[in-house]
Structure 1
């Protein structure tokens, strides 16, 4: 077992300069299952986070009714209906589900299908986690074929563990993350001050970047895009989670320097992710 901090020195070991002859197919083909009526922005922010962190090809599986919104918001991505997905590993190097997803039953069925059939990295956030809790899919999550990363905040953690949120808030965050790992067998990104990344091997790491300005709607959607992007680019799930939270926090720090903590919004974090990676590479 190992405990430690997520620092620039670590991130520099997994985020490397690109080769001159690289092409978009080498930079990760990812699928983001996100967005619903009234929540198209979550899909947009997730897509922007993924692209600004280097994903070569981004496809967003969303409702056809909001295709136009998503394509205007993130024109570099393509849209596909959630009703016609081919989940073969050859099509996608990483998949995520949750930002602005809503809680329709067919989305729970789609996540169940991914857990049972997909062999890559699967990132679960927001309504994706709420679907797991609502439909008692924790055992399916625990026994999934894919490599799972979950990114809960304190409320989602409480729902996954079937405990009162008041109790969750009083628990030691290391203990809470450990219980989530035991419940799901996933890599756990417990968001909040000093975001914790905990692994099934018993390792736990605390992030060293970020600021209070990041307590803003949509920030978690950007993080999901970043972690999925890094996974799709070939990072191991643990490295994608750790490097993802560091870069997300650094992007927030760069954004706060420019706009202040009060004025920082999730879109700023997505944009600043590109500069965060540039800074880490020196």
Structure 2
């Protein structure tokens, strides 16, 4: 049985509390530098979508950490982003206000140590998604996430959540609020359990349900965009709880705007990324 008590809805009015029109004298240095550690051979699009989500959500600078052979793809796909080799990543973490890792990362074991380094040394918001989470599930070291020095946000879909918690996807979806709370207890992170009515839960036991979004968003790359959006909001100074709440609302609203324009059937992740800026514009009208 689904449990729906003790939660708050994420609404346009509540999001407007944190998203305001910008001051005229602002510059890119005030808007956060986001690092995106994503993509691999055959999955470079995940890095591009995450970076595009971060830029559309207002990040001042976005750097993509990826293998050098994939630089040309990223720089053509999103010319506004900077590229850096993952081999040089460990010496540069202090320059980033927020980090996102996982989309399209693949199962290369060398990424494990990089993610562990970020968890240990990064002091800002760190959004961990997709293959970044699967690595910890596969190695049975999910509990080590609680040792993170970063302000950790995890963004699993039900399948990834099932691996993190060691239970079936059916069980995850039977009580999504309880599952999200359990994710926070196991990882010590703010948890974003994606799906219809995305749930955000905090280690303090607060839970929120998002009211935006539609079935057209069930498409490859949608979650990659969300990862970038949340990281960008964290890089602009929002704490993990707020960045997660605002991010899922804007992401869903962008999907709703895209569906209104082109319909649900043909909606793709790039449409969601491109509509993030329109969603922010709409929220700022209040």
- TM-score if structure 2 supplies the norm length? 0.96
| Cα distance change, pair 2–87 in 1 and its aligned pair in 2 (3 A) | farther
CA distance in 2, matches of 1:87, 1:195: 36
Residue 11 of structure 1 pairs with residue 37 of structure 2:
no
Residue 106 of structure 1 pairs with residue 107 of structure 2:
no
- 1:125-136 equivalent positions in 2, closer than 5 A: 125-136=129-140
CA distance in 2, matches of 1:8, 1:144: 32
- 1:224-239 equivalent positions in 2, closer than 5 A: 224-239=227-242
Contact 1:5 1:208 survives alignment (8 Å): yes
Q: Tell me how far 1:118 sits from its aligned partner.
A: 1.3
Match of 2:196 among 183, 193, 197: 193
Contact 1:3 1:205 survives alignment (8 Å): yes
User: After superposition, what is the alpha-carbon deviation per residue over 1:239-276, rounded to whole angstroms, capped at 9, x for unaligned?
Assistant: 10000000000000000001100010000000000100
Contact 1:108 1:135 survives alignment (8 Å): no
Q: Which residue of 2 is the match for residue 250 of structure 1?
A: 253
Match of 2:267 among 264, 267, 278: 264
Q: Tell me how far 1:168 sits from its aligned partner.
A: 2.9
Contact 2:90 2:117 survives alignment (8 Å): no
Q: Tell me how far 1:85 sits from its aligned partner.
A: 1.0
Q: Which residue of 1 is the match for residue 215 of structure 2?
A: 212
Q: Which moved more, 1:157-166 or 1:261-270?
A: 157-166
Alpha-carbon RMSD across the aligned residues, in angstroms, is 1.3
CA distance in 1, matches of 2:6, 2:101: 29
3-state SS in 2 of match to 1:100:
coil
User: After superposition, what is the alpha-carbon deviation per residue over 1:66-98, rounded to whole angstroms, capped at 9, x for unaligned?
Assistant: 110011001000110111114666400000100
Q: Which residue of 2 is the match for residue 28 of structure 1?
A: 32
Contact 1:115 1:140 survives alignment (8 Å): no
CA distance in 2, matches of 1:220, 1:277: 18
| Cα distance change, pair 87–141 in 1 and its aligned pair in 2 (3 A) | farther
5+ residue gaps, structure 2, are none
Residue 221 of structure 1 pairs with residue 185 of structure 2:
no
Contact 2:258 2:272 survives alignment (8 Å): yes
| Cα distance change, pair 270–87 in 1 and its aligned pair in 2 (3 A) | farther
CA distance in 1, matches of 2:275, 2:163: 32
Q: Tell me how far 1:166 sits from its aligned partner.
A: 3.9
- TM-score if structure 1 supplies the norm length? 0.97
Q: Which residue of 2 is the match for residue 93 of structure 1?
A: 97
| Cα distance change, pair 35–89 in 1 and its aligned pair in 2 (3 A) | closer
3-state SS in 1 of match to 2:95:
coil
Residue 75 of structure 1 pairs with residue 79 of structure 2:
yes
Q: Which residue of 2 is the match for residue 176 of structure 1?
A: 179
Q: Tell me how far 1:2 sits from its aligned partner.
A: 5.7
Q: Which residue of 2 is the match for residue 281 of structure 1?
A: 284
